[in-house]
Amino acid sequence: MKDVYIRMVDEGYMGDPADYLKQVVAEYAKPVSKNSGILCPNCLKTELDKEENQINCSSCGQEYILVENSLRFK
């Protein structure tokens, strides 16, 4: 937090410190996961969550790997 404040002062930011903090968090925040639009082959209940080539089912917990547009069990 101290580093963020020092960076804010060095840049000469004159706005609201909370807004600056939101900007810094947005720079470092990684998208958690996105819905892939694919039904889980294991439970057929929910759509799978995708993060890079890792795909997980939030219902049954099965993990998959995306290989050349096809799902493989992990």
Average pLDDT, the chain: 84
pLDDT attached to residue 24: 85
Give every CB contact of residue 49 below 8 A, 6+ residues apart in sequence.
Answer: 33, 34, 35, 36, 55, 56, 57, 58
Tell me the two tokens of residue 15: 């706005």
CA–CA gap between residue 34 and residue 32 (Å, rounded): 7
Tell me the two tokens of residue 55: 């795909």
Q: Indicate the pTM of the whole model.
A: 0.50
Q: How large is the average pLDDT for residues 13-27?
A: 87
pLDDT attached to residue 10: 92
Residue spans of the domains in the chain: they are: 1-30, 34-73
Q: Which residue would you say has higher pLDDT here, 33 or 13?
A: 13
Nearest to 38 by CA among 7, 11, 62: 62
